[in-house]
Amino acid sequence: MKKNIALLLMTSLIICMFSGCGTNADTTETTENVSQETKKETTQETTVETTAQTQAENETYKVAALLYSRAFEFMVALDTGIQDKCAEYGMEVTVLDGNSDSNTQITQIEDCITAGYDIILLAANNSEELVAGVKKANDAGIPVVTLDGEVGEGCEVLASVTFDNYAGGETAAETLMSLVEACSVLECSGASGAYHAVRRGGGFEDKMAANEDYVVIPNDCNWDAEVAQNAVVDTLTSNSEVKAIFAHNGEMIRGVIAGLKQLNMLYPVGDENHITVVSVDGTANELDYIREGYQDACVEQNPFDMGGLAVQIAYEYLSGGNTEPEYQQYVYPRVINADNVEDEVNWANQLN
C-alpha cells in the first residue's frame, strides 16, 4: 500500500514539472513576440517622423517679393536683404518691380497665384489700392507678409514688417530741436495719404507741437527731389524765419540741398547761416551730405533687417516652425550724425 502511494506521488510530481516547463516556454515566447512587435512599431513611427522631417528640410519654397519701386535706393537694399536671407534658407525667390503702380502690383499678385508661389512678400505702392490684390491671394490660399508698410482693411495678412514710422518722425523732431533753437521748420513730406507720410509726419508734427516755440510748415513734396527743391526755394524766399528742414525720405534730400545751393544758402554745420537739415532713411546720399557737413543728421530705417525679418517669418511659417507669428513686427529708428556716420552697421555703408 505504501509503495502504491509513493508511486502515485512521484507520478504527480513529474506531471507538475512538465506542466511548469511548458508554461514558462509559452510565456517566454509570447513576451518575445510582443517585444518584437513593439520594436517594429517604434521603428516604423521613427521612420515616418524622420521622413517627414527630411521632406520639410529638403523642400524648396517659392517666394515672390513684390516691391513698389526699385527706383529708390532703399528699395534696392530691401531687395538685397530679401535675396540674401532667402539664399540662407535655401528658398527660391523672384523679385518684381511695381514701378510705383498699384495696378501693376495687382497683376503681379495674379501672376504669382497662377505660378503657384508658396508665399508673397508685398511692399505695397498704396495701402488701400492693394487690398483687392491681397484678397485674391487670400482666396487662393497664399499667405501674404507685408513689409515697409501695411494694407488697408478687407483682407488678411500673415504679418506686417515695417519701420516704426511714427517713432521715426518723433525721433527726427527730437533730433532737430536739439540742434536748432526755436524757429520755423519746413517739412518736405511724402505723398499725401501714403502710409509712410502719414505716420512719419504724424510723429514729427505731434512731437514738434509739444514745443509751441517751433512752427512747422508742411509741404507735400510727393517723395520727389525736384518738388522738394522747388518747395525749399519758394518757402525760404518768402519766409526768413525758416532755419530748419525735415524731409520724409532720403530721395528728397537731394532736392533740399540743391534748393539751398540755388538760393546761395548752403552753409556747413557750425556756420551761423547754416540751415539745419534732418531726414529719414539713411541712404548713401544722406551719409555723404553728413560727411560734407551740409546735413546734420538722419534717422535710419534698415532695409536689410526689414527684408531679412520678413523672409524669416515666411520660412518659419511654411516649414511649420511658427504658424502664428506676431502680426506687427518693427524695425526701429536709429540716429546717424557726424559722430557715427562711418559705422559699419549703417546700412548704406554695407552697399557694394
- Percent of the chain scored above 70 by pLDDT? 83
Least-confidence region, from 46-50, 285-289, 328-332, 337-341: 46-50
> Is the pLDDT reported for residue 31 higher than 80?
no
Residue 142 is classified by DSSP as -
Q: At residue 43, does pLDDT exceed 70?
A: no
- Lowest-confidence range among 81-85, 102-106, 126-130? 126-130
pLDDT of residue 352: 66
Show the domains of the chain with their CATH numbers.
Answer: 62-163+303-332 (3.40.50.2300), 165-300 (3.40.50.2300)
193: confidence class by pLDDT, cuts 50, 70, 90: confident
Tell me how many helices (H) and strands (E) the chain has.
Answer: 10, 12
Q: What is the pLDDT of residue 269?
A: 97
Categorize the per-residue pLDDT at 351 as very low, low, confident or very high, splitting at 50, 70 and 90. confident
pTM of the model: 0.77
User: Using alpha carbons only, how large is the chain's radius of gyration in Å?
Assistant: 34
Which cell numbers in the block locate residue 68? Answer: 513698389
What is the rounded CA–CA span in Å between residue 165 and residue 204? 10
Question: Region 260-289: what's the mean pLDDT?
Answer: 97
CA dist 328 and 43 (Å) reads 43
Tell the burial category of 52 from Cβ atoms under 10 Å away from its Cβ (0-12, 13-18, 19+): exposed
From residue 271, give the alpha-carbon distance in Å to each of 65, 267, 340: 46, 6, 21
